[in-house]
Structure 1
Amino acid sequence: MADFEVATKAPESDAAEDAPSAAPQSLVPGDTPAQAGASLGEHCVTDRPTPSGQGPSGEITQLGGVDTYISKPSDYPHAPSKLLLLLTGATGLHSVNNQVQADNYAKEGFVVVMPDMFAGDPLPGSATYSEENDPSVIEQIKLRAAETAKSFLIDLWLARNTPEKALPILHKVIDAAQDEYADAVANGGGIYSAGYCFGGRITLLLAGEKPDTVMSWGQQQPTDEEAGVVKKGPYIKAGAIAHATSVTREDFEGTKAPLAFVCVENDQLFAEDIREHGEKYLKENNVESEFKTYSGVPHGFAVIGDYEDASIKSTQTEAFTQMLAWLKSH
């Protein structure tokens, strides 16, 4: 297993400790920092501004009866390509940033299949990024009330959009893609996956051999094959995961496919103890893996989107290079 660590430390917050009512400080304006017990970070659910001059070049069509964004290399099918399943955060299928992300992988020789895992139910209000500039006290109160309501909406959305809902959708897409793009699947020797935030956890699950009768991911399931339990998977050849959310220790069980992880320092949405458990489990079970931790960046930074801070933009490129290199080498 190859393990990499970025040793630089994230800048400390200058927030006054004697102001408990103040909103938590963040690395970038408008970003809600990951907190203990948080379910999704701001960049899991809200798009940053799309980089200037960039726009999607693929198309939305149906694959296995599921709305899917497809992006292909310019020379496909005349040149060999590989099939990549791109799984997004809560911003979903119609996010321009996610579509541009898919296009970037297509430029590198992948036929990219980005399905609507949420069955037409993206997180409400997730289409664009908004930012408050020095609001008044009254506006701050309104903003906190809005954030509370938003948090409630996120919890409701997560209750509706679970692995149990997403995985059957993805199985339809995978089955259809194996027929529609059989040449790309054959050329790569299987299907690859890149997952961001919510999609990162799903990529991890697809990389494993799991009981076919799983009713709730993350809970212990019976393994007695005589009782009718049959294990299936993995469904991907290799995967690259960026700042996954809601991952549990049990999600690593049965992992077979090689995985690369883009991690964020002090990210409580992918807590250190979960990461350490995953590293240990994969190493003990001889699963090839790579963990790289980036500092000075917010959760969700690896998703395409513009930042005023040049260092975050540079690190975003570095993370894409890491994921791309992993997928190409496997």
Structure 2
Amino acid sequence: MSEPEIATKAPESDLAERSAIPGDSAVDQGPSLGEHCVTDRPTPSGATPTGQITKFDDIEAYVTKPADYPHAPSKLLLLLTGGTGVHSTNNQLQADKYASEGFLVVMPDQFAGDPSTNTTSTAPTNSSPSLIEQVKLGIASVAKSFTIDMWLARHTPEKVLPLLHRVLAAIKEEYADAVANGGGVYAAGYCFGAKYVLLLGSELHQDVVQGQRAPETQAEEGMVTQGPAIKCSAIAHGILGKADLEGVKVPTSVVAVEGDPLFPDEVRDAGKKDMEERGLEHELQVYPGVPHGFAVTGNYDDQGIAQAQKEAFAQMLAWLKAH
């Protein structure tokens, strides 16, 4: 079925890791991918994924279905992950949670077999590390940041969007009954995947869909647009810029983290204002005191974070079910 369990340790908050050397602004290069985007929390004890890895148009995907499908009608949900990808046990369990609520879930490999490296982050045992230890931590942080940025450069909209549209075309044919029952394809996205859920919920020029041009670059005059490719979206702690929420055209639920450098408060507030002015059906809930990535399945010792994780899933699920 799936590959062996991936459950690497991540800190309760990745924000503290962004500058390991006091006063060294060179370490903090601004928003990229956070620790929670590229590592998994410890997997819940005894939890085992129930779906399977298959392929659509030669693209790997994890598929999980309601227990009574196809005897009972279902709706098709496209689930897009953070950097850990489709072979992450936690991501598979996240998909299973939606399947247990009646969705037929397809979670495609957005990264064409190249997920982020699941590096283990271990805090030093000395509560007051020496200067040399701080320097070593800083060097490690810079190296990790560089590796993540190189990985991001390989996975741009020009690469990812054509892949997702190939998967969509295949699953619409394979699961036409679920598409018809839901009146279209639903989509949920976490971290890296949130941006692409919003792009799929936008009107894009044909050359952007085909990967010939980045979404933010100038379109040729008269270029045909298409989309949205989904009917409803729900996203959690996305890595988002101002244009991402401004482009979405479908009902959208947003789970946001207060003070998240990967989705800054000012960008979030501007996006909310834009959706309100356009009359777009939406909801936006800000969760304080939680780290970026908190909504993805995985254990937290902090019960406040664990409870917020449950609430975020309930928010997204309720939105998808209501539409």
TM-score (norm 1): 0.85
Aligned to 2:65: 72
Aligned to 1:174: 168
Report the Cα offset of residue 252 of structure 1. 3.2
27-36 vs 314-323, which deviates more? 27-36
Aligned to 1:8: none
Check if 1:28 corresponds to 2:12. Answer: yes
Check if 1:270 corresponds to 2:263. Answer: yes
Aligned to 1:99: 92
Letter in 1 for 2:191: C
Q: Which of residues 120, 124, 131 in structure 1 aligns to 2:122?
A: 131
User: Is the contact between residue 211 and residue 223 of structure 1 (CA under 8 Å) also seen in structure 2?
Assistant: no
Letter in 1 for 2:218: Q
Aligned to 2:221: 224
The count of aligned residue pairs is 299
Q: Distance in 1 between matches of 2:122 and 2:242?
A: 35
Aligned to 1:23: none
User: Is the contact between residue 64 and residue 104 of structure 2 (CA under 8 Å) also seen in structure 1?
Assistant: yes
Q: 1:277 to 1:31 in 2, by over 3 A?
A: closer
Check if 1:190 corresponds to 2:205. Answer: no
Report the Cα offset of residue 131 of structure 1. 2.6
Aligned to 2:108: 115
Letter in 2 for 1:221: Q
Q: Distance in 1 between matches of 2:100 and 2:57?
A: 24
Q: Distance in 1 between matches of 2:252 and 2:159?
A: 23
Q: Distance in 1 between matches of 2:45 and 2:99?
A: 20
Letter in 1 for 2:137: L
Q: Distance in 1 between matches of 2:51 and 2:319?
A: 24
Report the Cα offset of residue 299 of structure 1. 0.5
Q: SS in structure 1 opposite 2:275?
A: helix
Check if 1:165 corresponds to 2:149. Answer: no
Q: 1:190 to 1:86 in 2, by over 3 A?
A: same
Q: SS in structure 2 opposite 1:184?
A: helix
Q: SS in structure 2 opposite 1:293?
A: strand
Q: Residues 139-154 of structure 1 correspond to what in structure 2 (within 5 A)? A: 139-154=133-148
260-269 vs 207-216, which deviates more? 207-216
Higher relative contact order (CA 8 A, sep 6+): 1
Q: Distance in 2 between matches of 1:252 and 1:31?
A: 23
Q: Distance in 1 between matches of 2:16 and 2:177?
A: 43
Q: SS in structure 2 opposite 1:268?
A: coil
Q: Which of residues 47, 53, 74 in structure 2 aligns to 1:60?
A: 53
Q: SS in structure 2 opposite 1:219?
A: coil
Once the two structures are aligned, what percentage of the paired residues are identical? 55
User: Is the contact between residue 74 and residue 102 of structure 2 (CA under 8 Å) also seen in structure 1?
Assistant: yes
TM-score (norm 2): 0.87
Q: Distance in 1 between matches of 2:67 and 2:31?
A: 41
Report the Cα offset of residue 294 of structure 1. 0.2
Q: Which of residues 26, 31, 37 in structure 2 aligns to 1:38?
A: 31
Aligned to 1:5: none
Q: SS in structure 2 opposite 1:165?
A: helix
Letter in 2 for 1:67: E
Q: Distance in 1 between matches of 2:16 and 2:297?
A: 18
Letter in 1 for 2:113: G
Report the Cα offset of residue 164 of structure 1. 1.4
Structure 2 portions without partners, runs of 5+ = 1-9, 19-27
Q: Which of residues 280, 292, 296 in structure 1 aligns to 2:285?
A: 292
Q: Distance in 2 between matches of 1:282 and 1:38?
A: 23
Q: Distance in 2 between matches of 1:116 and 1:267?
A: 26
Letter in 2 for 1:95: S
Letter in 1 for 2:125: D
Q: SS in structure 1 opposite 2:309?
A: helix
RMSD: 2.0
User: Is the contact between residue 30 and residue 130 of structure 1 (CA under 8 Å) also seen in structure 2?
Assistant: no
Aligned to 2:196: 202
Report the Cα offset of residue 272 of structure 1. 1.5
Aligned to 2:244: 251
Structure 1 portions without partners, runs of 5+ = 1-25
Aligned to 2:5: none
User: Is the contact between residue 33 and residue 298 of structure 1 (CA under 8 Å) also seen in structure 2?
Assistant: no
